[in-house]
Copies of this chain bind each other. A is one copy, B any other.
Amino acid sequence: MTDSDRQLFEYLQTFLTADRQARFADVLSQRTRRITVVLEDFYGTHNIGAVLRTCDAFGIQDVHVIEDEHEFEHVPEIALGSQKWLTVHRHGAPHPRVRCATALREAGYRLLAVTPHADAQPPEEVDVAQPCALVFGTEKDGLTDEILSLADGAVKIPMCGFVESLNVSVAAALCIYPLMRRLHAGPYDWGLTGEERETLLYDWVRKSLPHVAALEQRFRESLVAHDPLTSPQRAAAGR
């Protein structure tokens, strides 16, 4: 972040309430990139929204979306705005699965396919010492053979009823929650770096301000005019 970016950032933050700033700091301190979620060619905004909401709820920052036949759709109302706070990485044609798997592996992730069919370990036994990417397919079709062949391992949620698959947001929660609990309890360096936190906070602050473009414009004009800026706090103090 350049000096003028940082000045702008500080300026924008003054428009947030103290409660909002504290909430951002709190959520940010719990975010991780050590566990991430991959959605293979999802469709249906309800399912995507429910998974995004679960990711947000448990501190997962990154969601990778493989777009083959289905483009990622924006679902603000169902996810209760969760998507706004997450970093969605889209992997498209050609070869979206290979591209996604390669990018994740280069970033140090193990790819774990979550599937009811494999002979696999339950979520609470997944090794959290290495960053992992949990790959979910749609409820109807499950994971493709291609993504299964690209995965490094598999996770299976043990079930004992008549249904053969779980709602995907339920499966995601049952994988994410125990992994996050163990990450938090263990000796792992799971938080975001200072730089990552700054970048993300900047993004969140911008998304929280309804007239951010006008505020930024005002800031830039003030720089040109060498004019001290008036924040709401300064204005309230009569300065």
Q: How far is the CA of A27 from the CA of B59 in the complex (A)?
A: 35
Tell me the smallest distance from the CB of A198 to a CB of chain B, in Å: 18
Interface of A is mostly: helix
Q: How far is the CA of A68 from the CA of B40 in the complex (A)?
A: 41
> Inside 8 A of A115's CB, which chain B residues have their CB?
none
Is A53 at the interface (CB under 8 A from chain B)?
Answer: yes
Q: Which residues of A contact B (CB under 8 A)?
A: 23, 26-27, 30, 46, 50, 53-59, 80-82, 85, 124, 157-163, 166-167, 169-170, 173-174, 177-178, 181
A-B contact pairs, 26 of them (CB 8 A): A26-B160, A27-B160, A27-B161, A30-B161, A53-B163, A53-B166, A55-B161, A56-B163, A57-B160, A57-B161, A57-B163, A57-B166, A58-B159, A59-B160, A59-B161, A80-B163, A82-B163, A85-B162, A157-B177, A158-B181, A166-B173, A167-B169, A173-B173, A173-B174, A174-B177, A178-B178
